[in-house]
């Protein structure tokens, strides 16, 4: 299991481009299951989650050709409709094949995703959506089994105790493209990844309006064709790089930055004193060039994670790390995954003063963090520890980097191109080498 050795204290500067979005790419790859002709997806990030999805889609009978950041997916329609636990357990997002398989084959069997480090992640809303479209839903041997002779358009309410559901909205939207009549999703997720998926589905011949708002209307079409679609830039990667620049008092130019998808984050960064400046107003706000600079101590701020367009839960940990360097007390409230705080105790090991009570954390700014060995336990929490290491005095090792590799494409290479000093290494190999040395020098 790889780890990072980070030598902190370097001010980041230079230019970098944001990769395609993992959370848009995964449901879009799944949507390709419904196409009668080839789907070409462009600008996919090179991540282990994408590799897992390729494995799953191949097992479902798709032919997949990869060429760098592009992938061509063909589903001849003779494949399987069973997503096995062995694959689903490696990636919860596998649940996004449920709607597309039901649409294409009239049935789907998908292993129920299990526990998750960031908290409970039920799928009741996904299932409610499938039932509303006329499917039967059963649990059999740990698998969700959905079946429908004919899907029928309906009004589907997808609001839950923590807001809507992103992948649940993706699943219902996909299934509804094959339903007879009109489906209206009320309390739909408004996340940009849903807009990007709707855009792709419309290119495949679907008729979807309202994506990006809480009411999405889908007119069922029966069958869909292939398309050529470029995946949107990853707003969470973009936000993480912006915070990396800010936390090192850096000066970084970021290309393909989805500015209008990050307004809540930019608002909070500005409130701390970080500047995010659009370099060319003529570029589209969803893919533009910005410069992120910060050259003084930061102001403390309050922020609460919320469904889009609120502050994204996927940037909570990274922003919390930045606020460790503010002059005063900040308050962070997590409203999507109230237990998503695995990074807190690791930050404390580096000298942070962060106090958690339930879903709220008080961050008391400190003059400095000090490098320490810390352990990653989830994807975004890992990113926050890397950011802490960049700004800390001395050396930080972040172990279990495989969590990070699920959502960031060679983050160390990207940050090193801006001047960071991060080395990837295999701690087990290092231990083995030193044991060998001890053996060879013992009598």
By the criterion CB under 6 A, which residues form the site for ligand EPU? 23, 26, 93, 120-126, 160-163, 165-168, 189, 313-314, 336-337, 379-380, 407
Name residue, tokens 């809507």: 164
Q: In terms of CB distance, is 336 or 420 closer to ligand EPU?
A: 336
* CB 27 to ligand EPU: min, Å: 7
- CA dist 101 → 59, 80, 385, 410 (Å): 13, 9, 38, 32
Q: In terms of CB distance, is 172 or 418 closer to ligand EPU?
A: 172
* CB 161 to ligand EPU: min, Å: 6
Name residue, tokens 């980097």: 401
Count of CB atoms situated within 10 Å of the CB of 434? 10
* CB 314 to ligand EPU: min, Å: 5
Beta-strand relationship, 143-147 and 107-111: antiparallel
Residue 338 CA to residue 344 CA, distance in Å, equals 13
Residue 401 CA to residue 408 CA, distance in Å, equals 10
Q: In terms of CB distance, is 96 or 246 closer to ligand EPU?
A: 96
Contact (Cβ atoms closer than 8 angstroms) between residue 238 and residue 246: no
List of residues 6+ apart from 39 with CB closer than 8 A: 31, 32, 72, 73, 74, 204, 226, 227, 228, 229
Residue 31 CA to residue 37 CA, distance in Å, equals 12
Paired tokens of 265: 């984050």
Question: Which residue of the set 96, 116, 174, 288 is catalytic?
Answer: 116
Paired tokens of 288: 């533009």
Q: In terms of CB distance, is 71 or 392 closer to ligand EPU?
A: 71
Q: In terms of CB distance, is 95 or 246 closer to ligand EPU?
A: 95
Q: In terms of CB distance, is 239 or 389 closer to ligand EPU?
A: 239
* CB 120 to ligand EPU: min, Å: 6
List of residues 6+ apart from 250 with CB closer than 8 A: 11, 12, 13, 244, 292, 293, 294, 418
* CB 172 to ligand EPU: min, Å: 11
List of residues 6+ apart from 67 with CB closer than 8 A: none
Note if 116 is an active site residue.
Answer: yes
* CB 125 to ligand EPU: min, Å: 3
Catalytic residues: 116
């Amino acid at each position: 299991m790889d780890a990072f050795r980070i030598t902190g204290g370097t001010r980041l500067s230079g230019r970098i481009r944001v990769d395609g979005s993992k959370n848009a790419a995964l449901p879009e790859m799944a949507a390709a299951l419904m196409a009668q002709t080839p789907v070409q997806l462009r600008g996919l990030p090179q991540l282990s989650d994408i590799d897992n999805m390729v494995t799953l889609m191949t097992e479902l009978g798709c032919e997949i050709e990869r060429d760098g950041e592009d992938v061509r997916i063909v589903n001849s329609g003779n494949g399987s409709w069973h997503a096995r636990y062995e694959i689903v357990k490696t990636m919860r997002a596998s649940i996004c094949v449920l709607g597309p398989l039901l649409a294409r084959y009239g049935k789907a069997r998908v292993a129920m995703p299990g526990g998750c480090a960031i908290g409970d992640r039920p799928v009741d809303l996904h299932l409610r959506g499938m039932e509303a479209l006329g499917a039967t839903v059963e649990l059999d041997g740990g698998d969700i089994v959905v079946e429908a002779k004919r899907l029928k358009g309906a009004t589907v309410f997808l609001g839950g105790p923590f807001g809507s559901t992103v992948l649940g909205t993706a699943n219902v939207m996909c299934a509804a493209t094959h339903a007879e009549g009109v489906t209206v999703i009320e309390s739909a997720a408004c996340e940009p990844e849903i807009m990007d998926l709707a855009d792709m589905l419309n290119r495949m011949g679907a008729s979807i309006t309202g994506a990006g708002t809480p009411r999405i209307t889908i007119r069922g079409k029966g069958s869909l064709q292939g398309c050529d679609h470029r995946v949107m830039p990853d707003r969470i990667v973009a936000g993480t790089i912006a915070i990396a620049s800010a936390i090192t008092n850096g000066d970084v130019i970021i290309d393909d930055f989805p500015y209008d998808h990050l307004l809540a984050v930019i608002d909070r960064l500005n409130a701390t004193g970080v500047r995010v400046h659009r370099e060319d107003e003529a570029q589209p706000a969803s893919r533009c060039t910005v410069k992120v600079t910060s050259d003084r101590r930061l102001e403390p701020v309050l922020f609460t994670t919320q469904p889009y367009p609120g502050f994204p839960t996927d940037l909570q940990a990274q922003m919390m790390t930045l606020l460790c360097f503010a002059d005063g007390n900040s308050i962070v409230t997590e409203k999507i995954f109230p237990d998503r705080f695995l990074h807190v105790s690791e930050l404390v090991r580096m000298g942070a003063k962060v106090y958690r009570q339930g879903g709220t954390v008080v961050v008391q700014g400190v003059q400095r963090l000090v490098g320490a060995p810390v352990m990653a336990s989830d994807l975004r929490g890992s990113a926050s520890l890397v950011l802490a290491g960049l700004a800390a005095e001395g050396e930080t090792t972040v172990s279990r980097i495989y969590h990070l590799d699920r959502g960031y494409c060679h983050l160390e290479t990207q940050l090193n191109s801006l001047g960071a000093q991060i080395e990837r290494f295999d701690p087990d190999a290092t231990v083995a080498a030193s044991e060998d040395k001890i053996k060879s020098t013992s009598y």
